[in-house]
Amino acid sequence: MDRYVVAGNPVSHSLSPEIHARFAASLGEQIEYGRLLVPEGGFDLHLARFFEQGGCGANVTLPFKVDAFRFAADASARAKRAGAANFLALRAGRIECDNTDGAGLVADLSRNLGLRLAGARILLLGAGGAARGVIAPLLAQSPGSLVIANRTVARAGALARLFGDLGPVEACALDAVGPRAFDIVINATSTSTKGEALALGPGIIGEGGFAYDMAYGACAKPFVAAALAAGARASDGLGMLVEQAAESYFLWRGGRPETAALLAQLRARFA
């Protein structure tokens, strides 16, 4: 049976094994998808062993997305742009990497949530690994503008320069945003996951806007609730998780799983 894993630290909480088992069942395929807990500094050793022992592919999560990019012999254009990968596949004896986070985010925003990205004024909060992976896919949707705001402004500036040839992208410090109207505000900071407050100026998320937290479940609730209270619509990042998994499954196996029913069931569980 074809074997896959989600590799990270921690991985015990990961929904990926369940999501991929459901995808496989829905497509009438049989796969084995497990968790691989990788110790700090042990990424290359553990992943090399997994592939030597017959593994076909891996999803990679915190804190190893840059290690995954460096580990692979070949990288897709979007992984090269991001300098980080959440997807590994063994093909013809070579390890390839890709980054499906951006495709997952764009699919969730546009298809599941019905948002129009073309022409939209987008604010991306954060300049870490997750932000890095979604900038090129967002710019490919032709937004009106993309502002990257980060606590450490130099990191936002570096990303704006790196992706500046792909579209209208600019950088600023987190505490220097606004007052300015945004259609979509995406929280790609780790504040929700860490249970920290995100210090945003007033009026940045408001009526007519849409606020999206890449975190999901209980930890995303304060951000989502604050956006709803300010009159915006809002979502957590559960759909992004499911959609990036669907993109991974498609890249590995060629079949594209349906996501709507699974997403609805997971959402009910996290409600």
Rank residues 128 and 222 by Cβ distance to ligand NDP and give the closer one: 128
Q: How far is the CB of 63 from ligand NDP (least distance, A)?
A: 8
Rank residues 216 and 252 by Cβ distance to ligand NDP and give the closer one: 216
**Residues 270, 216: Cα–Cα separation, whole Å:** 8
How does strand 55-60 pair with strand 87-91? antiparallel
Helix axis angle, 238-253 to 16-26, nearest 10°? 50
**Residues 241, 215: Cα–Cα separation, whole Å:** 9
Tell me if residue 194 is catalytic: no
Rank residues 145 and 193 by Cβ distance to ligand NDP and give the closer one: 193
Rank residues 145 and 190 by Cβ distance to ligand NDP and give the closer one: 190
Name the active-site residue from 65, 80, 194, 221: 65
Q: Among 88, 32, 15, which residue's Cα sits nearest to residue 262?
A: 15
The residue number with the shortest CB distance to ligand NDP is: 128
Q: Are 81 and 164 in contact (CB under 8 A)?
A: no
Write out the E strands in the chain.
2-8, 31-37, 55-60, 74-75, 87-91, 94-98, 121-125, 145-150, 169-173, 184-187, 210-213, 233-235
Q: How far is the CB of 259 from ligand NDP (least distance, A)?
A: 13
Q: How far is the CB of 1 from ligand NDP (least distance, A)?
A: 26
- The footprint of ligand NDP (CB under 6 A) covers 62, 101, 104, 126-131, 150-152, 155, 174, 188-193, 196, 198, 214-216, 237, 240-241, 244
Q: How far is the CB of 191 from ligand NDP (least distance, A)?
A: 5
**Residues 127, 198: Cα–Cα separation, whole Å:** 14
Residues marked as catalytic: 65
